[in-house]
Amino acid sequence: MITELLNKIIFKIENNNDRLEFYCSDGHIYSMYHEQDCCESVYIDDISGDLNDIIGSPILMADESSSSNTNLDGSPLDDEYDSCTWTFYRFATVKGYVNIRWYGGSNGYYSESVNVYKSENCYLDEWRDYKLEEILKKDENE
């Protein structure tokens, strides 16, 4: 799903308590988050790079990878959870590179994955219609 962002232009990013929303010039919003359940914790652990570097230019790289049940250095898990997953999202444009690292921990019976959803509605079309209506009203009043 994250590869759908390839060649798209992101014009706005919202970071709302471990939920990232990418607003694309095609009118779709891609939301990256995890719906929390009991006995688990999934959150953005780190963002390396500047999110502004992936705004306004086509996405040249959109990549996801993960690693389970080890620490970042590859050593065995020594954590409060029985299971953990590190999920990495890497994005690049001509302006720069961003790496978003998510951490998910649980007792092993719950998902630790990050969800990426594409909006079903095309919000850019609604915005364009609104702006066109404003321009037409302005022309009628002149």
Q: How many Å apart are CA 88 and CA 54, to the nearest integer?
A: 16
Quote the pLDDT of residue 89.
96
Quote the pLDDT of residue 25.
82
At 8-39, the pLDDT tens digits run: 988 889 998 789 999 888 888 999 998 877 78
Quote the pLDDT of residue 32.
95
Q: Hey, how many other C-beta atoms are within 10 angstroms of the C-beta on 36?
A: 12
Quote the pLDDT of residue 130.
46
Quote the pLDDT of residue 67.
82
CA-to-CA separations, 85 to 47, 62, 88, 129, 136, in angstroms, rounded: 16, 19, 10, 43, 53
**Would you say residue 131 has pLDDT above 80?**
no
CA-to-CA separations, 74 to 54, 86, 101, 114, in angstroms, rounded: 29, 11, 15, 21
Quote the pLDDT of residue 33.
92
Handedness of CA 59, 60, 61, 62 (dihedral sign): positive
At 70-128, the pLDDT tens digits run: 666 666 555 666 788 889 999 999 999 999 999 888 877 778 889 899 987 777 665 56
Residue 26, classed as helix, strand or coil, is coil
Quote the pLDDT of residue 27.
85
Mean pLDDT for 56-76 is: 81
How would residue 59 be classed by pLDDT, with cut points 50, 70 and 90? very high
Mean pLDDT for 40-59 is: 92
